[in-house]
Chains A and B, each alone.
Chain A
Amino acid sequence: MYVGQGGLIMTEVVGMVFIIIGIPFFLSGTIGLLRLPDIYTRLHALTKADNVGLGFVILGLAIQATSWLEVAKLFLIWFLVLVASATSCHLVADAALRRNIKPWTKE
């Protein structure tokens, strides 16, 4: 919410803090995708870290939003991504098990 030309108010700052909190989650999702040893472990990083990252970004944007409709749309998007990625994660893990891909284990 802007007050006049470039004037910042509380919601703007608090929202931005939440958005910035979200970014490291996305980065660790990517690091996990690259560092972890097999499909199953990579799924952990992908679904958990990225969803929470998006949750914080959306929370921040919602705090800054100027209308309730925008807030509702933001949370709808978050809900869709949450359900989609939990379902995707299950589908990929299930398909990998069906193909007898053995989970990586610590020797």
Chain B
Amino acid sequence: MTTLYLCLAIVLLLSVVLGLLRIMWGPTAADRMMAAQLFGTCGVAILLLLARGLEQLIIEDVALVFALLSALATVAFVRRAWRRDDVRRTGGPDHD
């Protein structure tokens, strides 16, 4: 059973790694940020699976903090980090 939890965690991790392609492709900063949001939700699931698989319940608290921080990251990004001139590079539909 432990192996199954760890395998599922690895599947989710691979899914996140695949999502990282969006960081390469962009085209706007927000598209890149979305890959980070993906890691937020998947990350929580991965941590919870590890907590159960490794029988270390303390990892659930890490997942809790992760959940809180991913929201703050987006707020900080939208309010501070996403520069307005980012748009000039993305007039229309993107082309990747």
* A residues apposed to B, CB below 8 Å: 6, 8, 12, 16, 19-20, 22-23, 26-27, 29-30, 33-34, 37-39, 42-43, 46, 50-51, 53-54, 57-58, 61, 64, 70, 73-74, 76-77, 80-81, 83-85, 87-88, 91-92, 94-96, 99-102, 104
State whether A101 touches B48 (Cβ < 8 A): no
State whether A84 touches B67 (Cβ < 8 A): yes
Q: In whole angstroms, how far apart are the Cα atoms of A5 and B77 in the complex?
A: 49
State whether A53 touches B45 (Cβ < 8 A): yes
B92 neighbours in A (Cβ, 8 Å): 102
A104 neighbours in B (Cβ, 8 Å): 93-94
Interface of B is mostly: helix
Cβ of A49 to closest chain B Cβ, rounded Å: 9
User: Which residue of B38, B52, B57 is within 8 Å of A30 (Cβ)?
Assistant: B38
Q: A39-B30, A84-B71 given as contacts; is B48 within 8 A of A95 (CB)?
A: no
State whether B84 touches A92 (Cβ < 8 A): no
